[in-house]
Structure 1
Amino acid sequence: MIVINWFAFVQVFAAALLASTIVVTFYSVGLRLLVRAGRSPVVAPAEFTDAITVISEKEARRAEKAAAKAAKKSPLTDGQKRLSQYAAYGCFAVCGAAVLGGILLIFFNH
């Protein structure tokens, strides 16, 4: 007869829900703070096959130009931008720590 430990199932479900919420929240806040600091991430287009639309070099240059223009119009002082950048890095560190903690829990089975 198979016996299911429902309490353990609920524990795993709650831990997964909490961890995913932490990672997504801190990553999105980190990205927002990074943009606020004037360091918006611009990703170069990749070449894909099939039905995936790829932006052209012209569109990539236009996006970089728009990001640079938005960074110049920022009403924040240099100190506020630097603080936002450090806070963004802190948010990314929390994401990394959450992922690393999950991996350690898997490896050490605790």
Structure 2
Amino acid sequence: MTVAIHWEAFFQVLGAALVGTLLVVGFYALGLRMLVRAGRVPVVTPAEFTDAITVISDKEAKRAAKAAAKAARKSPLSEAQKSLALVAAYACFAVCTAAVAAGILLIVVK
């Protein structure tokens, strides 16, 4: 019994995985950057976990929300530029969603 490795197929899968990863991570990072430029800094409230993760205090959460609000007020962009950045952020998140959905469809359909 011999095992044959199809190297061409292996490199096709490797290339697709690398491109997909770069696409999703890159557009997600760009989307977050545009969201911040639009003045909508995402502040995530802490969740309660049991013994697994140290949760930030309410004081730290309030300080983070205050810093996000201050950063949003200091934005040098006009309202039109902020709107454009927000649309760009949503477009980046849509590209991420489409890439993930296409990957899932490739797995399910074949």
**Normalized against structure 1, the TM-score is what?**
0.95
Structure 1, residues 48-70: CA drift from partner, whole Å, max 9, x if none?
Answer: 23352211111111111110111
List runs of 5+ in structure 1 lacking aligned partners.
Answer: none
- In structure 2, the residue matched to 1:60 is 61
- In structure 1, the residue matched to 2:6 is 5
Rounded Cα–Cα distance in structure 2 between residues aligned with 1:47 and 1:7: 47
Larger displacement relative to structure 2 (46-55 or 56-65):
46-55
**Normalized against structure 2, the TM-score is what?**
0.95
Larger displacement relative to structure 2 (47-56 or 86-95):
47-56
1:35 Cα offset (Å): 0.5
- In structure 2, the residue matched to 1:46 is 47
What is the aligned-residue RMSD (CA, Å)? 0.9
Rounded Cα–Cα distance in structure 1 between residues aligned with 2:76 and 2:39: 11
- In structure 2, the residue matched to 1:20 is 21
Count of residue correspondences: 109
Moved over 6 A (4+): none
SS of 2:70's equivalent in the other structure is helix
What amino acid sits opposite 2:9 in the alignment?
A
Rounded Cα–Cα distance in structure 2 between residues aligned with 1:104 and 1:96: 12
1:76 Cα offset (Å): 0.4
What amino acid sits opposite 1:43 in the alignment?
V
Rounded Cα–Cα distance in structure 2 between residues aligned with 1:47 and 1:107: 35
